[in-house]
């Protein structure tokens, strides 16, 4: 017994001493001092070096889009690093095409600020703001998706965005995380509706942010939010519209539909909404109402797995089957697709095969 | 049996008992980092430093902490943890002060943690019951020996790249292994010249 206790103590002791040494080394060796970051040849920031560029800029109030929270998997945080970024890292290479490499495009979550940098970012990123929000209403839409309404506490002007865009939601540190974490979520609400925005948040297995929202977040809790981001939003044109969504991908699509209802836009519109089983369908009432209120809108849900004995009479199969069945070659459509990366990619190539021009297909992939 | 003079041990570890060429330890970074002299030298230097420090440190930890407490059976875990912490520190230092070297080493710097030559040196030190000074000499010597081997091979590989037209199947690791084998044969001739145990 004593032997056991001594073993545990000694091994933990050795571990603790080493951890302390590492902590000291981190404090003194990895101290990069102050660095200058020049943005678009006009703005100059003095920052503390040592952190990834994405987070350094975030601390300075410049919010680069990022869906994965700086993990190097979504590739949304691309910026041009003209000078001082060092060589391109192996972690970035899979996400950069040759033209981007030539233009010094880098993933800002992978570039560490070690010295002074010269960078270039799109002008509009200066307008992205950080908001304090409270969880106003949390409801179960399906067993795996929660509808979360956030009320903006400040700044008072609220958020201005286009229907279909997304925000980053930041949650505090909790049991599953060692630091605050953020992820991207599309807004299902439409701009101008007071200070409230609505998100659909699906539970991801072992997902840090989604688990927090599903299991820990209570009405009245304060959170941080940044936005708006993204180039997936409603475009005006006279063409017929096809919308394709799966899972929580309905959020930006619903935002666009609500916008069309509010602005009384009469374009012919079809929505293919795919889920696995009937319980996964949500917002059905509102979509059916929209069918009545909008002059020419049809909502077509499809289930990929219909349980034996179910009374389901609607479409069966995946959204791609619906495209095969209902879209004919040469249809002149604007297409909005939102959902998992695999779904978006297979729809995209299928639609291209049907002769729909690439620049009329807008999509938002979950990574 | 008399204790071996640390200086003898130091030179023995470099030449006659080269850890890479006679024990074939640390082959993975050896194969992957020997393409260019510059990065081979950097990797070698990092290994010398880590190996000398960790063998000496592990000697203290083993004979002053683990043996008196009867916890020798934990040495595998403890040695690995000590090595890992050390590598972490070397990585921080290299990243801060030698960024060019840091980028050319890339993923291989953290991989020193699992470089079996380094762990091997610590285990030989235990089996052969070296004292602290001997361990330091043995660790430093083995590190330098490893560095010598990788720098030698990288020079040969650079030369090969410029002059030799190799069949495709022999390029890269294949020819490196063959040359290493020949080098090892030459070093085998030294074995037994100096007693290390």
Split at pLDDT 50, 70, 90, the class of A93 is confident
Query: Strand, coil or helix: what is A218?
Result: coil
Is pLDDT above 90 for B147?
A: yes
d(CA B92, CA B86): 10
Please compute the mean of the pLDDT values over residues B134-156 and round it to a whole number. Answer: 93
Task: Measure A18 CA to nearest chain B CA, in Å.
Answer: 6
Question: Which tens digits make up the pLDDT trace of A150-178?
Answer: 998 878 788 888 899 999 899 998 888 88
Portion of chain A with pLDDT greater than 90, in percent? 24
Mutation for testing the B interface, residue in A30, A52, A91 having most B CBs under 10 Å: A30
> Which tens digit of pLDDT belongs to each residue from B43-79?
888 888 889 989 999 999 999 888 888 888 888 988 9
E strand residue ranges, chain A: 34-39, 43-48, 78-83, 105-107, 117-120, 129-142, 145-154, 166-171, 181-186, 196-202, 222-229, 240-246, 269-275, 297-303, 315-316, 333-340, 361-366
| ipTM over cut 0.85 | no
Q: Do A25 and B96 touch (CB under 8 A)?
A: no
pLDDT of residue A310: 81
State whether residue A185 is helix, strand or coil.
strand
Residue in chain A nearest B93 by alpha carbon: A29
CB–CB of B92 and A26 under 8 A?
A: yes
**Cross-chain residue pair B85–A22, CB shorter than 8 Å:** yes
Distance CA A337, CA A232 (A): 9
Query: What confidence score (pLDDT) does residue B148 get?
Result: 93
Domains and CATH numbers, chain A: 34-125 (3.10.20.30), 129-229 (2.40.30.10), 240-366 (3.40.50.80)
The nearest alpha carbon in chain B to A18 belongs to B85
End-to-end CA distance of chain B: 9
Instruction: List for chain A the helix, strand, coil content (%; round to 5).
Output: 30, 30, 40
**Would the pLDDT of A367 be above 70?**
no
Q: Which pLDDT score, from 0 to 100, does residue A206 have? A: 86
Q: Which residues of B touch A2 (CB under 8 A)?
A: none
Test B74 with A7 for CB contact under 8 angstroms: yes
- State chain A's mean pLDDT as an integer: 87
| Predicted local distance difference test score (pLDDT) of residue B140 | 94
Taking the mean position of all CA atoms in its chain, how far away is CA A271?
Answer: 21
Most A CBs within 10 Å, among B65, B96, B99, B111, to test the A interface: B96
From A87's Cα to the closest Cα of chain B, the distance in A is: 7
Angle of helix B132-163 versus helix B37-60 axis, rounded to 10: 160
Cβ <8 Å between B92 and A25: yes
Considering only alpha carbons, which residue of chain B is nearest residue A112?
Answer: B95
pLDDT at B188: 84
**Domain residue extents for chain B:** 6-188
Q: Exposure of B85 by Cβ count < 10 A (0-12 exposed, 13-18 middle, 19+ buried)?
A: buried
Instruction: Supply the DSSP symbol for B3.
Output: P
The pLDDT assigned to A193 comes to 55
Q: Which chain B residue's Cα is nearest to A6?
A: B69
Does B103 sit within 8 Å of A87, measured CB to CB? yes
Cβ contacts of A18 on chain B, cutoff 8 Å: 81-82, 85
Mean pLDDT of A263-284: 89
Is the CB of B81 less than 8 angstroms away from the CB of A25? no
A56 preceded by a cis bond (ω within 30 of 0): no
Per-residue tokens: A236: 């005006």
Per-residue pLDDT averaged across B156-178, rounded? Answer: 88
Q: What is the mean pLDDT of residues B94-123?
A: 80
Write out chain B residues lying below 8 Å of A6, CB-based: 69, 71
pTM of the full structure: 0.61
User: If you measure CA to CA, which chain A residue comes closest to B64?
Assistant: A10
pLDDT value at position B168? 87
Overall average pLDDT of the A256-274 stretch = 90
Percentage of residues in chain B having pLDDT higher than 70: 96
Residue with structure tokens 């001594």?
A6
> Are B74 and A11 in contact (CB < 8 Å)?
yes
- Closest residue, chain A, to B95 (C-alpha): A30
Using one digit for the tens of pLDDT, what is the confidence trace for A43-88?
888 888 888 899 998 888 888 888 888 888 888 889 999 888 888 8
Stronger pLDDT, A192 or A210, i.e. the higher one: A210
Nearest-CA distance from A356 to chain B in Å? 44
CA distance A325 to A350: 12
Give A86→chain B minimum CA distance, Å.
8
Percent of chain A with pLDDT over 70: 99
- Report residue A26's pLDDT band, with 50, 70 and 90 as the boundaries: confident
Angle (CA) B15 B18 B19, round 5°: 165
* pLDDT, mean of residues A242-260: 91
User: Which of A125-129, A158-162, B116-120 has the weakest average pLDDT?
Assistant: A125-129
* B88–A22 CB contact, under 8 Å: yes
Q: Given A7, A18, A86, which is nearest B82 (Cβ)? A: A18
Nearest chain A residue (CA) to B81: A15
Q: What is the mean pLDDT of residues A10-26?
A: 88
Over residues B19-47, mean pLDDT: 86
pLDDT tens-digit map of A196-229 = 889 999 998 888 999 999 999 988 899 999 888 8
Q: Distance from A22 to chain B by nearest Cα, in Å?
A: 7
User: B108 falls in which pLDDT band (50, 70, 90)?
Assistant: low
Q: What is the mean pLDDT of chain B?
A: 86
Inspect the interface and report whether the beta carbons of A90 and B107 lie closer than 8 Å: yes
Q: Which pLDDT band, with edges at 50, 70 and 90, does B107 fall under?
A: low
pLDDT at B2: 65
């Amino acid at each position: 017994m004593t032997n056991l206790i001594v073993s545990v103590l000694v091994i933990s002791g050795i571990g603790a001493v080493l951890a302390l040494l590492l902590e000291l080394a981190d404090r003194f060796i990895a101290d990069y001092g102050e660095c200058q970051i020049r943005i678009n040849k006009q703005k100059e920031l003095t920052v503390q070096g040592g952190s990834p560029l994405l987070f350094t800029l975030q601390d300075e109030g410049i919010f680069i889009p990022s869906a994965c929270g700086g993990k190097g998997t979504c590739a949304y945080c691309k910026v041009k690093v003209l000078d001082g970024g060092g060589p391109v890292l192996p972690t970035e290479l899979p996400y950069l095409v040759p033209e981007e490499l030539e233009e010094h495009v880098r993933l800002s979550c992978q570039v560490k600020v070690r010295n002074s940098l010269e960078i270039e970012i799109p002008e509009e990123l200066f307008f992205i703001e950080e908001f304090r929000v409270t969880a106003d209403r949390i409801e179960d839409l399906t067993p795996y998706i929660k509808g979360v309404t956030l009320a903006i506490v400040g700044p008072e002007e609220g958020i201005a965005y286009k229907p279909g865009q997304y925000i980053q939601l930041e949650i505090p540190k909790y049991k599953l995380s060692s630091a605050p974490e953020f992820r991207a979520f599309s807004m299902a609400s439409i701009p101008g509706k007071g200070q409230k925005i609505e998100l659909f948040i699906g539970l991801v297995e072992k997902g840090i942010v989604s688990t927090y929202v599903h299991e820990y977040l209570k009405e009245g809790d304060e959170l941080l939010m940044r936005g708006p981001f993204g180039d997936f939003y409603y475009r005006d044109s006279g063409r017929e519209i096809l919308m394709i969504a799966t899972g929580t991908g309905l959020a930006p699509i619903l935002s666009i539909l609500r916008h069309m209802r509010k602005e009384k836009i009469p374009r012919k519109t079809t929505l293919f909404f795919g889920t696995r089983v009937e319980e996964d369908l949500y917002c059905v009432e509102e979509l059916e109402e929209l069918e009545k209120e909008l002059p020419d809108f049809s909502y077509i849900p499809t289930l990929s797995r219909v349980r034996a004995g179910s009374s389901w009479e609607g479409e069966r199969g995946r959204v791609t089957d619906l495209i095969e069945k209902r879209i004919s070659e040469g249809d002149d459509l604007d297409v909005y697709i939102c959902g998992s990366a695999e779904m978006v990619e297979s729809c995209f190539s299928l639609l291209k095969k049907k002769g729909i021009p690439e620049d009329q297909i807008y999509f938002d992939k979950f990574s | 049996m008399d204790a071996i003079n640390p200086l003898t041990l130091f030179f023995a570890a470099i030449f006659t008992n080269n850890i890479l060429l006679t024990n074939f330890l640390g082959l993975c970074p050896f194969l992957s980092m020997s393409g260019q002299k510059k990065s081979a030298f950097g990797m070698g230097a990092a290994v010398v430093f880590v190996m000398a420090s960790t063998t000496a440190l592990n000697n203290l930890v083993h004979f002053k902490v683990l043996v008196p407490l009867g916890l020798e059976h934990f040495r595998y875990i403890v040695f690995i943890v000590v090595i890992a912490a050390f590598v972490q520190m070397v990585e921080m230092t290299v990243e801060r002060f030698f960024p060019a070297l840091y980028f050319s080493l890339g993923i291989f710097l953290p991989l020193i943690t699992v470089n079996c030559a380094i762990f091997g040196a610590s285990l030989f030190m235990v089996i052969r019951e070296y004292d602290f000074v001997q361990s330091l000499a043995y660790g430093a010597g083995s590190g330098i020996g490893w560095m010598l081997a990788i720098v030698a091979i990288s020079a040969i590989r650079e030369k090969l790249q410029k002059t030799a037209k190799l069949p495709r199947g022999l390029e890269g690791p294949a020819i490196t292994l063959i040359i290493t084998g020949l080098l090892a044969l030459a070093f085998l001739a030294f074995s037994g010249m100096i007693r290390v145990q």
